Structure 1
Amino acid sequence: MFINKIKSEGLSHLSYLVGNDGHAFVVDPRRDCEIYVEEAVKAGCRITHIFETHRNEDLISGAPVLAKLTGARVLHGPNAAGNVAYADTTHEGDTFEFGNLRVEVLETPGHTDDSLSFAVFDTDFGDDAVGVFTGDAMFIGDVGRTDFYPDRAEEVAGLLYDSLRKILALGDQALLYPAHGAGSVCGDSMADREFSSLGYERKYNDKLRISSREQFIKAKIAEHHYQPPYFRLMEKLNLTGADPAPRITTPVPLSPDEFRSLPEKTVIVDTRTVSAFLGSHLPGSLAIPAPMIPAFAGWYIEPGQPVVLVAADPAQARVASQHLIRIGVDNLEGFLTTDMPEWSAGGLPFHSLPVMHVDDIRERFRNPPDDWQILDVRSIKEYRQESIEGSVHAYVGELPQTLDQLDRNRHYTVMCASGARATIAASVLERAGFSRVDVFLGSFGAWKATD
């Protein structure tokens, strides 16, 4: 018997291949799903079942593709806000056996109406569960968000409370296997580790330590989560079944002439480091460093919009392409690695963004320039906890929708926690025609470090 965890970096998505007695099942496969077949072959197993814990919002499910590759049966929960075209419906109490490994289905709504958890038992060693796959109902250090049904906020928060108690009833000995780890947009307070037990979470997970159903509901309603526009596309594709992922290889390299002949609507995504972008970048490009693509690209790229990458090298372009394909951005026209000095030597245009040190910001407070404003682009939760007096707030992801609320004649210094999100935001402002923009590098971290 084995459990292999397969992590998709950036999304912090966790999926699992579980095998025993020559048979295997997969929990929550990602879109580029060949890895599950490869790992099952190595283990001498055949994948016969695919279990989905819920309809994902932040990535495309690989279940329909994996089912075609393997002939496996896909199982999904009831109440999925529509028919899951590629899956059979499974319910509370259904069981599936793989040799001496038994899987029992628990209906655990709250995060979504169709949420399921799958308890695992080793029938050769007692009656207690050895582990449970909780999807987005319970995480390590946190629990699932409940903001997808705003008109039923109290109801779904209460459903999650009940579901968590059902999971905890499996016993402290059971190991916890969630669908996401730290860094995912599906939770705020996940621990930076990927191993735990129900007993440990019962003792140390703050949300699970709330004993009152009423207080739990109140705490969940008070949370604030962001929903990127691409979530709606993910929900639709995870009902109907998305096309197989384009084979993830390095995108086609483009010459400067090919790059300049691209359609005007093409989105240029600069996947290099923050410092590289700040130093010099192509006019009109979006700064989204490759590791940050899963969290932020879906805010700015519309479905079907062609995309070109600017990357430091082919390896970086490949990683960026992988992240984009997992969230349904398939129209990759290619990538450009032209070094900026070489680019400018050909008389081609480039831009740069001024960078401010904390000492520069201190001096600006002493002698404020005309029409100067600090723009804080962190989450509203971060901003409300601590902020610089006199700053204004606009979340980086929602910035394109709030540009009309900003005075284009003002001078904006953009800040976040370190400068990374601030650079993304500054690139959005620059693309929109704001001409007086700079970045507070170090941002709130530097502000606090220097008192």
Structure 2
Amino acid sequence: MLLYQRFVPGLAIASYVVGDERSGQAVVVDPTRDVDDYIRYAKDNDLHIRHVLETHVHADYVCGSSELKARLGKDVEIHCSGAGDDEWTPPYADHVVSDGDEVAVGSVRLKAMHTPGHTPEHTSWALYDDSRSRDTPWLIFTGDFLFVGDVGRPDLLGKEAQQQLAHQLYQSVFERLSGWPDITEIFPGHGAGSLCGKAISSRRSSTVGYERRFNASLKEKPEAGWVADLLGDMPLTPPYFRRMKQVNSKGPKAIGNLQSGEQRWNAKSVHERVCDNCLIVDVRSKEAFSAAHIPGSINIPFGPTLPTWAGWVLPYDRPTLLVLDEPGRLQEVNTHLLRVGFDDVRGYLEGGIDAWETSGFELTTLKTQSVHELQKSISHSQDAITVLDVRTEKEWNSGHIDRALHIHGGTLQDRYSEISRDKPVAVICGSGYRGSIAASFLQREGYERVSNVMGGMSAWKAAELPTEKNNS
């Protein structure tokens, strides 16, 4: 048996290819939309992908099952859980599976095990290698039910569904999981960094026995207390999660071999708004953006967390134009955006910001300041400046600047009216990355005296400047 785990940093997605060498057939579990890597792995190992298995309707990325079938043809069969109601049964499923159903490739069998709680239809897939044991699963693909160090969150479908899902999750953990052997390995759908759990380990696999012993969410206690502990300090849910659920439950459109966004736009065309209603997204570094950028553009610096922050702050109802520092990054940026459903990338600024500058079009800057400069401004008169902290609740509670205004960066588009326009705004985050995103958004909304605090709270604490802590 061959096993390949594909991990996508940032979104922290884990997906899998299982191959049976004798039959030359393969199964893909929870593919992402950019499917070339699965196809390449199968080809390199003389495998033919015959089945695609989904654990559930994903909320944090666009599923690639229908994309794989579109690329490989009708011989590929998609298996999706039918354990939820019709709303959570994707129409593109070739087989709607029930608890106990099996999919076989050669001597490898994968058995569906309904493990609701993260979502109503959630199904884990237990893998048996009949050449070794027909009775004991070698490993289980647990999707977003069981992670290394955590379990999936039951609150993504809203407050009304949360109570029922939490109850189902409790039953899945302490009833369904009880029959799994200690020696069986687990391979989850996410690693550290995913917002589908709050305490996921950086390890990408484990065993059932190890998790029983050291995973706090597997320690049995009365249900009410267990649920309260699970939901405590849960990170905010990005708004794009709801959209991803809708896209995946209905079935995403196929993108094929061609990537979006390959059209080049010269500076004159961009300046004259030939791309009507386009939002300009600048993916250069925060330093480059601060030095010079197109007025009204949003900065989301290139890196693994680009798709997460695009989902937080970019509207889905507007086409996008990109500003890059390196044209060679175009495909990777497009892939990041396609993973979270931004399909309408119209192209990129040819020649980058240099072409805009030499064309004589207006540029603007984003002021930056050090933590020492910020401290001097606060010492002079704290009422004369708004310190806007855009970190998470957990980060804020661990230490923040006295009298700072706390607004999570992902919710800024709904709460920026709380920020005074009558005085300067110094935006601070952990290191300056999120600060640049938030500051660019405020600039776009007409705030004229905005700065990004470089180094963020990491630099503030390293400089041993005064902080306040919340005990909650």
Q: Which of 163, 166, 171 is matched with 2:172 structurally?
A: 163
Q: CA deviation at 1:225?
A: 3.2
User: In 1, distance between residues paired with 2:350 and 2:456?
Assistant: 29
In structure 2, the partner of 1:392 is: 405
The amino acid across from 1:268 in the alignment is: I
Equivalences for residues 30-429 of structure 1 within 5 A: 30-68=32-70, 69-70=72-73, 71-77=75-81, 78-80=83-85, 82=87, 83-87=89-93, 88-126=95-133, 127-147=135-155, 148-165=157-174, 166-167=176-177, 169-209=179-219, 211-245=221-255, 247-248=258-259, 251-262=262-273, 263-291=275-303, 292-336=305-349, 338=351, 340=353, 343-368=356-381, 371-429=384-442
Q: Is contact 2:260–2:345 with CA below 8 Å preserved after alignment?
A: no
What does residue range 435-450 of structure 1 map to in structure 2 within 5 Å? 435-450=448-463
Runs of 4+ deviating beyond 4 Å: 339-342
The TM-score with structure 2 as length reference comes to: 0.90
CA–CA separation in structure 1 for the residues paired with 2:377 and 2:171: 53
Q: Whole-Å Cα distance in 2 between the matches of residues 32 and 113 of structure 1?
A: 26
The alpha carbon displacement at 1:255 in A equals 1.6
Change (3 A) 1:153 1:312: same
Q: Is the 8 A contact 2:238 2:410 kept in 1?
A: yes
Counterpart secondary structure, 2:387: strand
CA distance in 2 between counterparts of 1:344 and 1:369 reads 37
Contact 1:185 1:295 in 2 (8 A): no
In the alignment, the residues of structure 1 paired with residue 161 and residue 355 of structure 2 have an alpha-carbon distance, to the nearest angstrom, of 56
1:250: how far off? 6.8
Once residues 286 and 309 of structure 2 are traced to their aligned partners in structure 1, the CA distance between those partners, rounded to angstroms, is 14
Tell me how far apart the structure 2 counterparts of residues 436 and 321 of structure 1 sit (CA, whole Å): 32
Q: Counterparts of 2:86 and 2:13 in 1: how far apart (Å)?
A: 23
Deviations 1:234-255 (A, max 9, x none): 2222122111125237722322
Deviations 1:6-32 (A, max 9, x none): 223332211111111322111111112
How far residue 384 of structure 1 moved from its aligned partner, in angstroms, is 2.8
- Kept in 2, the 8 Å contact 1:142–1:207? The answer is yes
Q: Is the 8 A contact 1:414 1:439 kept in 2?
A: yes
Q: Which amino acid aligns with 1:63?
A: S
Tell me what 2:470 maps to.
none
Count of matched residue positions in the alignment of Structure 1 and Structure 2? 451
Contact 1:340–1:350, Cα closer than 8 Å, also in 2 = no
Q: Specify the code of the residue in structure 2 equivalent to 1:259.
A: V
| Distance across 1 between alignment mates of 2:267 and 2:131 | 64
- 1:303/1:94 Cα in 2 relative to 1: closer, same or farther (>3 Å)? same
Alpha-carbon distance in 1 for matches of 2:280, 2:97: 43
Q: Matches of 1:213 and 1:125 in 2, distance apart?
A: 38
- The alpha-carbon distance between structure 1 residues 310 and 50, as it changes in their structure 2 partners (threshold 3 A), is same
Structure 2 residue aligned with 1:5: 5
Instruction: Say if 1:200 and 1:248 are closer, same or farther in 2 by CA, change over 3 A.
Output: farther
Q: What is the identity, as a one-letter code, of the residue corresponding to 2:78? A: V
Structure 2 CA distance for aligned equivalents of residues 409 and 85 of structure 1: 53
CA deviation profile, 1:333-364 (whole Å, cap 9, x unmatched): 11125454553343221111121212112212
**1:137-193: CA deviation from partner (whole Å, max 9, x where unpaired):** 112222211112411333312221222332353222122211112222222322223
Deviations 1:351-406 (A, max 9, x none): 11121212112212221266311111111232233322211111111101112222
Q: Give me the CA root mean square deviation.
A: 2.1
Counterpart CA distance in 2 for 1:234 and 1:327 is: 7
Is the Cα–Cα contact under 8 Å of residues 24 and 47 in structure 1 kept in the other structure?
Answer: yes
Contact kept, 8 Å, 2:100 with 2:112, in 1: the verdict is yes
TM-score (norm 1): 0.94
In structure 1, what is the Cα distance between the partners aligned to 2:368 and 2:128? 56
Moved more, 78-87 or 406-415: 78-87
8 Å contact 2:307–2:336 — kept in the other structure? yes
State whether residues 15 and 26 of structure 1, in contact with CA within 8 Å, keep that contact through their aligned partners in structure 2: yes
CA contact (8 A) 1:149 1:156 kept: no
Corresponding residue to 2:443 among 430, 433, 441: 430
* SS of corresponding position for 1:316: helix
Q: Which runs of 5+ in 2 are unaligned?
A: 465-472
Higher mean alpha-carbon deviation, 222-231 vs 253-262, is at 222-231
> Which amino acid in the other structure matches residue 168 of structure 2?
L
C-alpha distance in 2, partners of 1:325/1:333? Answer: 13
